[in-house]
Amino acid sequence: MDIPCSLSARFEGSFAYFTVKDRLPQILTKVIDTVHRYKHKFLEEYGEEGIDGEKRALAYFSKLRNEMQTDKPIIPIIDDLPDTHIWNEYLQYQKSLLGDGEQPSWFRSPWLYVECYLYRRIHEGMTLSPPISTYDVFMEAKNDGYLQSENAVIALCTHLQEFKTNIADTSEAGCKEAFSKLLQVSLWGNKCDLSISGGQDNSQKFSILNSLESFKSNILVDNTESVWQILSQKKNSSRRVDIVLDNAGFELITDFVLADILLSLKLATEVHFHAKCIPWYVSDTTKRDIDWTIKQLLSTNNRWMSKCGEIWKENLKKGRWVYHEHLFWTLPHEFCSMAQTAPDLYSELQKSDLVLFKGDLNYRKLTGDRKWDFTVPFTQALTTFHPAPLCSVRTLKSDVQVGLKPGAGEQLAVSETDWMISGKYGIIQFDASV
Ligand X SMILES: O=P(O)(O)OC[C@@]1(O)O[C@H](CO)[C@@H](O)[C@@H]1O
Summarize as ranges the residues that interact with ligand X (CB under 6 A): 19, 23, 115, 190, 193, 195-196, 246-247, 281, 359-361, 364, 397-398
Phi, psi (degrees; rounded to nearest 5) at 325 = -140, 150
- Beta strand residue intervals within 114-263, DSSP E: 219-222, 240-244
Which contiguous run of DSSP H or E holds residue 429?
A: strand 426-431
246 binds Mn ion (CB under 5 A): yes
Q: How far is the CB of 361 from ligand X (least distance, A)?
A: 3
Of 6, 202, 223, 247, which lies in the binding site for Mn ion, with binding defined by CB under 5 A?
Answer: 247
How many residues touch Mn ion (CB under 5 A)?
4
How far apart CA 298 and CA 26 sit, in angstroms, is: 35
How far apart CA 412 and CA 307 sit, in angstroms, is: 42
Contacts to Mn ion from residues 361-420, by CB under 5 A: none
How far apart CA 34 and CA 29 sit, in angstroms, is: 9
Binding site partner of 190, from Mn ion, ligand X, none, Cβ cut-off 5-8 A by kind: ligand X
For ligand X, the closer of residues 311 and 356 by Cβ is 356
For ligand X, the closer of residues 17 and 228 by Cβ is 17
**Nearest Cα to Cα of residue 81 among 118, 13, 128, 49:** 128
Tell me how many helices (H) and strands (E) the chain has: 19, 7
How far apart CA 252 and CA 245 sit, in angstroms, is: 7
- Interface stretch with Mn ion, choices 59-67, 76-84, 183-191, 241-249 (CB under 5 A): 241-249
- Interface stretch with Mn ion, choices 116-124, 201-209, 276-284, 379-387 (CB under 5 A): 276-284
Q: How far is the CB of 241 from ligand X (least distance, A)?
A: 20
Q: Do 425 and 419 contact (CB within 8 A), yes or no?
A: yes
Q: How far is the CB of 112 from ligand X (least distance, A)?
A: 9
Q: How far is the CB of 11 from ligand X (least distance, A)?
A: 15
Query: What is the DSSP code (8-state) at residue 210?
Result: G
Q: How far is the CB of 397 from Mn ion (least distance, A)?
A: 9
280-299 footprint of Mn ion as x/- string (CB under 5 A):
-x--x---------------
Signed CA dihedral, 408, 411, 416, 421: sign only: positive
Contact positions toward Mn ion, by CB under 5 A? 246-247, 281, 284
